[in-house]
Chain A
Amino acid sequence: MIAGLLPACSREEQSCAVGACPIGYQCADSTGLCELQTSGPALQTSLFGGIAAVGRGNGAPVVVGFAKDRQSLAVIDGNEVRFLAGPAASQNQQPAGQTSAAVRSEDGDLHVAWIRDADRTLWYGHGRAGTWQVQQVEAAAAGTVVRPLSIAWWEGQPAVAWRAGDAAAVRVAKRGPNGTWKAQTLPAPPPPRKGAAPSSDIGRSLALAAPAAGLTVAAYDATHGDVLLSVDSGDGWSTARLAGTDPLSGADTGDVGLPVAMAVGPDGELVVAYRDASRSAVMLARAAKGVVSHELVASGAVPGPAGTEQRDWIGASLSVAVRSDGSAAVAWFNGSRWSAELALQRAAGGFARVSPPAQLLGKSRQLWPAVSGDSAIWLSWVAVDATRGPTGSRVVQWPLPPEVWK
């Protein structure tokens, strides 16, 4: 399967077989190793910034991100590149796409939302079989749009969540069958405890998902350092504090939720990954049938000089995916080492860190990791090289082989 989907990698040498070869690499006949390609459209597109990786039933995920040198939003599918917005899409367009999100609908179509920073407008693109339709989400519905952004597929239509810059709150827009968008600003929840200040800064990080219970937003409450979970069950939005406040005592348990990522498990279970800045840790919450459990995914604790312990700056650029057996894969950026890190949930409990093959990593740094997929999980990241600069970045993808889950 892998060999057929990745360019020029048909050999079965271990090096190629373990990681196949990522975008921008090819399996060298002489060495059996994945080596840098020197030409090809994908190579000429250097993404820089957070990426959205959208899995599909088989094959490498489609990657959506910002091509810094072209100042445009790019969709990379295998070795093909399509620019949806920005000067590379059309000469007259303003730069666009530094913030984007993508989701695939049941029919296999791709849905992408992005922000055009120049005028803080919200845009939506629908891709089917290589053909794209792009529309601006009506300004009246969108308001002032600032990062972050998330998209989900809900009841046969796309839904988008973003941070409303003028209100420091989360707005969610649903597209109707007639193509028009209706947006709502999510109400702030009550303070976490008596006497606490009202939440006035919500959504510096957010994620949108569509479990069976209803369209759901996980968002960071900067006022209290909490993860909020808002659910639209059909009767309007209701919000609860998922993490950062003790549910019984109301006590502050730390600054959590910047960033936050979310996925839906095969049984409809909501899986929320979040960074715990107070502990320098990555955590995972599972919410199902009103019961929430929290689990440590990874700690940033590392040995320091003179017998001390330091904390790596882990958890930025967070991503979570759930395998068809319910196991979660969580990927994050380690800002202390400029590396993409991955932890997989074990059947016996707990998480184990897993590293991509060394030949995929090379000497480059790995930024903005994203996990995607369900039956097969892929880890995608942007590889950067200090000597090549930001415009020399490349997307790398690794299909997690079955053995890493054991």
Chain B
Amino acid sequence: MSRLSAGFSAALALTCAQLLAACNAPWTPLEAPIAATHQLSHVIAAAVADQDLPQLSETVRVLTGKQVEFAAPPLSLADSGHQRSAVAGTIDIAAVHVAWTPAGHLQVKAELGKLLLPMSIGKSGAAACALKWLASGGSAVVSVRFAPLAGGQAQAELVDAPAINWQGPGFSAAEVCLAPLAASAGPFLDQQIRQMLADALLPRLSAAALHAMRASFAPQLALAGQTTVGPLGSPPLKLKVQSAFGADGSGNLLTRGANLTLARLDAAVEVERHACAVDTPPPQIAPHASVQPTQVPSGKSLLRRGLNLDAALIAHLGWAWVRAGGWCRQAPLSTAAPISVEWLQEIAPDLAQWLDSAPTAVRLWPHASAEWSVVDWQENPALEWTFSDATLEIVAPVGGAEAVVLTLRGRLRGVLRPSVTSAGKVQLLFAHAAMDSAVVSSPLLGDAVTAGATERLAQLVSAAIQGISEPAAVLPLEGLLPSGTVVTAVSRAGDNLWLWLDGGLQDGNGL
């Protein structure tokens, strides 16, 4: 997997840009495999629920075109000197039905409407004879699969040659226009027409089926590369990323779950440790053996599919984020949740007289790696993080010079709520934060601070972490999914997270 697509580079660049502050170098192929301790099996899954197959059918129909035009030039019949006129018309696709075969292939069957094709046959200089080719209906079948390639990549491909079948009669057996011709002329003309119709329809139907398959299971999810990351001013840290579709040797990557079909990926992320982060091994959480959403969203969609992120992957990414120094943060305090001087006065009464104005900044120093889990927060899915030991520093101006005026140390926990933006992106919004057993002190006042104002202390921690959490991190999905893909919903299934996707159909459909 040494080839890095532009989309892939863009996606991973975004990853570090938004989660780790800055990328210092372009992406390059992995120079060494990622250590086994970072390999996680089956922690990403792209899935299509059975309940969405009718919508998938309609989408394939739309991609193909509800009416497919065809045309053919005049055709000379060499033996007799007769010539068939030019023909043109449209094939009506009345309906499309998709279904999964036991082998995991997606079978697409198009129901074709009645087709009446007028034409004429005659000789030069003589009157032409009008005739028609008629089909009461027909069907076309395309079967596609999601097949493994070398290095964990995948592609959508046709299983068999697509086929089209028309229900008769074609030319009427009593067609008078064919009577003057040789006996073989009728079947020849019929075959020519059927071939013309197949040439017009089957490539479009095949392309639509393949495109729907690619959009659903996203071959872009398989990637590999390394770069350096780190906030400006920090030594660059090497970041390695790899994900691969897990093949079982069957030539098909899709497996059936309960009421859904899915493609699963293995993933690995390894990052060098920032000096501000504790040196801890990655979390040891076993990925789930099966994937099952608690509820598939209802409502209209073009091509709904789900992206499942296993709890093991979430914990690992969270660990990598902390390890790269992404949580050693300094941030201006949020205007949405400012810290007033009065709060500090209640927490540390002797402090207020020193301050020019309200605190301006906050710093966070984790002294432990974070534990991450998927939880419910006010009936919405959310990510909860916990540092068993961390320090918060509150910075305020004193006589025109900024100084750390208060430090809080304890067990720090918070909740980030994934929220879908109007642009179809997922951002992690601050929802809640608290510090347990906070030890409050001040570089000025020493440990003589009495943190009696419990409620104010809670407000202070919440405002500080809100400041740290802004601007909200955005999940870097561009380049990992077909262009134009949007997230429509986020849901939770146990300790897994589901992102529900739609769109992404305008990219490379070849139609």
Contact = CB atoms under 8 A, between A and B. Distances in A.
Interface stretch (B34-42, B400-408, B425-433): B400-408
Contact of B389 (A252, A276, A278, A305): A305
Given A252-B232, A337-B443, A390-B354, A306 B404 contact: no
Interface string A33-59: 000000000000000111000000000
A308 B274 CA distance: 9
A337 B405 CA distance: 10
Nearest to B407: A336
A390 B353 contact: yes
Interface stretch (B180-188, B198-206, B275-283, B467-475): B275-283
Interface in A264-318: 276, 278-281, 301, 304-311, 313, 316-317
B404 A313 contact: yes
Contacts of A333: 401, 403
A307 B278 contact: yes
A255 B399 CA distance: 22
B388 to A, nearest CB: 10
Contacts of B368: 306
Interface string B214-246: 000000000000000001111000000000000
Contacts of A336: 393, 403-404, 443
A50 B403 CA distance: 13
Given A50-B400, A255-B232, A308 B389 contact: no
A272 B247 CA distance: 61
B22 to A, nearest CB: 9
B133 interface: no
Contacts of A338: 403, 443-444
A147 interface: yes
B277 A308 contact: yes
B420 interface: no
A307 B398 contact: no
B400 A99 contact: yes
A258 to B, nearest CB: 9
A309 B275 contact: yes
Nearest to A225: B232
A396 to B, nearest CB: 15
Interface string A55-74: 00000000000000000000
A313 B396 CA distance: 11
A288 to B, nearest CB: 26
Contacts of B404: 313, 335-336
Contact of A367 (B233, B389, B401): B401
A382 B391 CA distance: 28
Nearest to A310: B365
Contacts of A279: 232-234
B341 to A, nearest CB: 14
B450 to A, nearest CB: 14
A250 to B, nearest CB: 15
B402 A313 contact: yes
B444 A50 contact: no
Interface in B432-446: 443-446
Interface string A310-333: 110100110000000000000001
B13 to A, nearest CB: 15
A368 B401 contact: yes
Interface string A382-401: 10101001100000000000
Given A278-B231, A306-B367, A335-B404, A313 B444 contact: no
Contacts of A11: none
B389 A49 contact: no
A279 B325 CA distance: 13
Interface centre among B233, B328, B350, B368 (most CB of A within 10 A): B233
Nearest to B368: A306
B350 A386 contact: yes
A175 interface: no
Contact of B275 (A50, A308, A316, A382): A308
A386 B444 contact: yes
A120 interface: no
B395 interface: yes
Given A278-B233, A386-B446, A389-B353, A335 B276 contact: no
B37 to A, nearest CB: 20
Nearest to B280: A306
Given A99-B400, A313-B402, A308 B233 contact: no
Contact of A309 (B276, B395, B399, B444): B276
A335 B365 contact: no
Contacts of A127: none
Interface string A362-385: 000101100000000000001010
A365 B278 contact: no
Contacts of A308: 275-278, 365-367
A94 interface: no
A144 interface: no
Contacts of B445: 386
A196 to B, nearest CB: 15
In the A-B complex, the 9 residue pairs with the smallest Cβ-Cβ separation, listed nearest first, are A278-B233, A279-B233, A335-B403, A49-B399, A309-B275, A317-B401, A316-B401, A278-B232, A305-B367
Given A304-B367, A313-B395, A386-B446, 17 more contacts: A50-B400, A276-B233, A278-B231, A278-B233, A305-B391, A308-B278, A308-B367, A316-B403, A335-B395, A336-B404, A338-B444, A367-B401, A368-B399, A368-B400, A386-B444, A389-B350, A390-B353
20 contacts: A49-B399, A49-B400, A147-B400, A254-B232, A276-B233, A281-B233, A304-B276, A305-B389, A307-B278, A308-B276, A310-B328, A310-B365, A311-B276, A313-B403, A336-B404, A337-B443, A338-B444, A384-B354, A386-B446, A390-B354
